[in-house]
A and B are shown apart, each in its own frame.
Chain A
Amino acid sequence: MIRPAPSGRGGVMPFFRRLALRRKIILIVLAILAAHSVLGFLALHGILSKLALTGEPGWHRLAAIVEIIYLVVLGALTVMAWLVTRRVIGRLTRPVVELTHLADEISIGNLEVEFRFGRHVKCWELKDCRETSCPAYGSTAVQCWYVDGTPCKGVEPRFPQKLIQCRTCEVYQAHRGDEIVQLADAFQHMTKRLVDYQAELLRAERLAATGETVAMVSHSIKNILDSLMGGIYVYRRGRRLNDEKSKATGWDMVERNLGAISELVRNLLDFSKARQPFLEPCDPARMVADVVQLHKERADAAKVDLKARCGDALGRVYLDVHAVFHSLVNLVTNALDALPPDRPGRVELAVSRDGDRLVFSVSDDGTGMSPEVQVRLFKGMFSTKGSKGTGLGLLSVQKVVREHGGALEVASEQGKGATFRIALPLVTAPSDAELAAKG
């Protein structure tokens, strides 16, 4: 949000200096007249009061009239004085108030505030400079002594070193005279530097994130390839020794790791694509049952009690079927991976309605996560699976949920398992019977 600050300089003297000469004269004459009027009335009232003491009724009446006029004029002058004082105080304090507002905006993170305090001294005009390649040339965003790389003679190239020489420069001198304006300038410069640093930081973070992603993906591919080589090795050995068991084991390893590569590529594609969800009518209860069915064999082999639960009669809803299905597959896979291999475990995939939200949840009674791990989960590629995980799966789940305008939450306690909860906006779709009735 850009919040413009008012133009104009603060203070009585700067205000007076800015007035045109005619207005200055009128203002001075009015002030003298006002002072003379008050003094004149006081003198006249004194003379008439003394004349009234002689007992002449005419003098007495005239003294009363003058007294009334005096009071009216005095009242009017008081009101005028009050108005003028108010205006002067307003002019005095307004820049400070505006500066305070700008500081508030900056403190809440809005660094795009716009400063319009005071006049901007155009150095190239004042010094009749033709150095159009100078970074300060033609710029009214920030004063030249804050700009690095100006080709001024005998001046250091960078701020703040150059400030010592700039203070004696006529451009700097022309800008002086109002502390509020100078304060605003310094403040504006600090804000600009903050914006620059922020952009630099963002670039560095992006580079680091890209590097981290490449490293994690490369590591993951390397692991899969290693297992794949292992599978081929075991299969060849089985063939050489005519050992059917070894051949079957090797072939399973090859198949499993080809699947892992396919899964990794799919996650990468899902994660890298910016897309709108493709909403289709679907039955979420059916989707949950399908995901559980897909993992049944693995769960049974690992003695895991894997269940699907549908809390309500949900009917059909609009969802990006492929993306949500794949997200649930990711979460259930993670839950199965989190179970210790030395004891039977439990995983439940549930779907229910919560007000205007469709809620999927995946719970397990596995190893759980510490609060520190939970915080790190959604902040880049992070995995608790050691060499097996890339952290891409959960990031692509988060992306799908965001695309739907939903929320992804995790609740976990170390040693007691975890629950991942996806809450999506519930948009009901007509059933087949309703569609048929509508023709």
Chain B
Amino acid sequence: MRTRSALVIDDEADIRNYISTILEEHGWTVRTAATAEEGERLVRESQPEVILLDLVMPGQSGIQLFARLRGDESTRKIPLVMVTGIKEQLNIDWKEIVTRLKARVPDGFIEKPIDPTRLAQLVENVVSRPEQGLQIT
């Protein structure tokens, strides 16, 4: 079986552990990063099949990293799932970001508390049907 690689970028070690464990159970090989900078380096280095990115992080935020990844030809097509703790943050003006970057919105959103089954299903969906558009769970 082909090994599938995922990258989890979250400043909280416990959440990284949690998401990694869920994905590993579903056959993913997971790498993790605690900061947006480290995450960006790993994206360019390993070109993962899917990225799970925390929206709110100290220092450079998930939004900033998203904008950079989507603005770069080499990373813009990697499916990306945003992980958020606050529902209201879904109201971010993605339209403006997307228009500015001429890129598509994040492929998926998952809100905390994370449900393991839903997370695994969402990741499968965004990887198998990347052009489906925004998927929220």
Contacts and interface: CB of A to CB of B under 8 A. Distances in A.
Contacts of B61: 386
B133 interface: no
A249 to B, nearest CB: 6
A392 B12 CA distance: 19
Interface stretch (B15-23, B69-77, B95-103, B123-131): B15-23
Interface string B4-40: 0000000110110111011001000000001101100
Contacts of B57: 386-387
- Which of B17, B22, B57, B86 has the most chain A CB within a 10 Å cutoff? B17
Interface in B30-59: 34-35, 37-38, 54, 56-59
Contacts of B21: 230, 233-234, 237, 246
Contact of A230 (B15, B25, B56): B15
A230 B17 contact: yes
Interface residues of B, number: 26
A237 B22 CA distance: 9
A256 B22 CA distance: 20
Interface string A299-342: 00000000000000000000000000000000000000100111
A219 interface: yes
Nearest to A256: B14
B112 interface: yes
B67 to A, nearest CB: 17
A87 interface: no
Interface stretch (A173-181, A183-191, A220-228): A220-228
B65 interface: no
A244 to B, nearest CB: 15
A340 B112 CA distance: 25
B85 A223 contact: yes
B58 A230 contact: no
Nearest to B88: A215
Contacts of A253: 14, 17-18
Given A340-B35, A342-B38, A234 B112 contact: no
Contacts of A256: 14
Contact of A388 (B12, B38, B86, B113): B12
Contact of A387 (B11, B17, B116): B11
Nearest to B86: A219
- Chain A interface, DSSP helix/strand/loop, else mixed: helix
Interface residues of A, number: 28
A227 B85 contact: no
B58 A385 contact: yes
Most chain A beta-carbon neighbours within 10 Å: one of B37, B54, B56, B61: B56
A256 B14 CA distance: 9
A233 B116 CA distance: 9
Interface in A179-230: 219, 222-223, 225-227, 229-230
A256 B61 CA distance: 24
Given A230-B17, A230-B18, A386 B113 contact: no
A352 interface: no
A267 interface: no
B18 A222 contact: no
Contact of A227 (B12, B34, B58): B12
A419 interface: no
Contacts of A237: 21, 25
Contacts of A223: 12, 85, 112
Contacts of A387: 11-12, 54, 56-57, 85
A47 B85 CA distance: 111
A393 interface: no
Contacts of B18: 226-227, 229-231, 233-234, 253
A340 B15 CA distance: 18
B113 A234 contact: no
Contacts of A384: 58
A311 to B, nearest CB: 32
A230 B15 CA distance: 7
Contacts of A389: 58
Interface string A375-387: 0000000001111
A334 to B, nearest CB: 11
B3 to A, nearest CB: 19
Contacts of B86: 219
B14 A386 contact: no
A208 to B, nearest CB: 16
Interface centre among A230, A385, A389, by most chain B C-beta atoms within 10 angstroms, is A230
9 contacts: A219-B85, A227-B15, A234-B18, A237-B21, A340-B35, A342-B38, A367-B59, A386-B57, A389-B58
Given A223-B12, A253-B17, 4 more contacts: A219-B85, A219-B86, A342-B37, A387-B85
8 tightest CB-CB pairs across the interface, nearest first?
Answer: A230-B18, A227-B14, A386-B58, A226-B113, A226-B112, A386-B56, A386-B57, A387-B56
